[in-house]
Amino acid sequence: MEDSRRFLQKKTHLRCGGQELNLSTPVVMGILNVTPDSFFPGSRATAADAVAARVHRMLSDGAAIIDVGAYSTRPGAGPVPPAEELRRLCAAMEVVRGKFPQAVASVDTFRAEVVREVVAQFGAVIVNDISGGQLGQGMFEAAAELGLPYVLMHMRGTPQTMQQHTAYANLVEEVVRYLSEKVNALHAAGVADVIIDPGFGFAKTTAQNFELLARLEELKIFELPVLAGLSRKSMVYRTLSVTPAEALNGTTALNMLALANGADILRVHDVKEAAEAVALWAATKAAAAAAAAE
């Protein structure tokens, strides 16, 4: 019985090359977009000095992971050729690895060939794949072969078409089924560390996003870390009738709800505010545990 309980215990430590990521308390993933067209300009940095400044700020503010993206996945974003995506990523990773070698980096891409080249040049990274292995070939095999943690996100279609695929008979049931099939495929391929992302904003309406958030704890069935990417998204700014630039307060509110419902990683544009939300959530949880033990 004791061995069975240990097997079913949620995974809280991930390895990324020689680095270990401890998720026993939720952590913050800071967004670094090396693109000219990501939806929130505050996350963009392309010149080396701008990349260095943003990474330094995010790490100082409490980021545990730096997520580097070179292909905008906002609704309707145009495609980026693999060579250009790789050029952008390598320029940014040269700064990250050169100036901040202690940082855990993730790469936001769905292309296995891009992952392989980044790892060959800069060492192990977390793979943050919005497509669940569907938009490129060989991603699961690459992550397994290279021993990389893998963020598995739910999405339908492509970034260009995803908002045409929001019809669900049962949203949460279908998301869970999709993730279950992909987790099994990843484990079969040999990927040891999987992180679950329900894909807020990807092939979901605003109402569906809020349903997913309200029922996020149902993803605990996987006993895997859960990533919530809510930062400044349309579910925030449209609901509040503000712009993405004005959506920080709403983002912080939803991040706290995500933490309460089981999120282990908050992927955000604004690290300081997210780290403060984690600290307050952790203090509340500790107080509740102490009261229960009396």
More confident residue, 107 or 3: 107
- Is residue 15 part of the annotated active site? The answer reads no
Tokens 């050169």 label which residue?
Answer: 98
Q: For the chain, what is the mean pLDDT? A: 92
Say which of 233, 238, 272, 285 is annotated catalytic: 233
Domain coordinates in residue numbering, the chain: 25-282
| 116 classed as catalytic | no
What pLDDT is stored for residue 3 in this prediction? Answer: 40
Predicted confidence (pLDDT) per residue in 70-118, tens digit: 988 776 667 889 999 999 999 999 999 999 999 999 999 999 999 999 9
Closest by CA to 14, choosing from 142, 129, 126, is 126
Q: Is the pLDDT of residue 7 over 80?
A: no
The predicted pLDDT at position 267 comes to 98
Query: Chain-centre distance of CA 116, in angstroms?
Result: 19
Q: Contact, 252 vs 280, CB < 8 A?
A: no
Identify the CA nearest to 193 among candidates 2, 9, 12, 5.
12
Burial class (CB in 10 A: 0-12, 13-18, 19+), 4: exposed
- Say which residue the tokens 């560390």 belong to: 193
Q: What is the pLDDT of residue 8?
A: 47
Mean pLDDT value across residues 162-190: 94
Q: Which of 111, 156, 182, 267 is catalytic?
A: 267
The per-residue pLDDT for range 201-242, each reduced to its tens digit, is 999 999 999 999 999 999 999 999 999 999 999 999 999 999
| Third-level CATH fold of 25-282 | TIM Barrel (3.20.20)
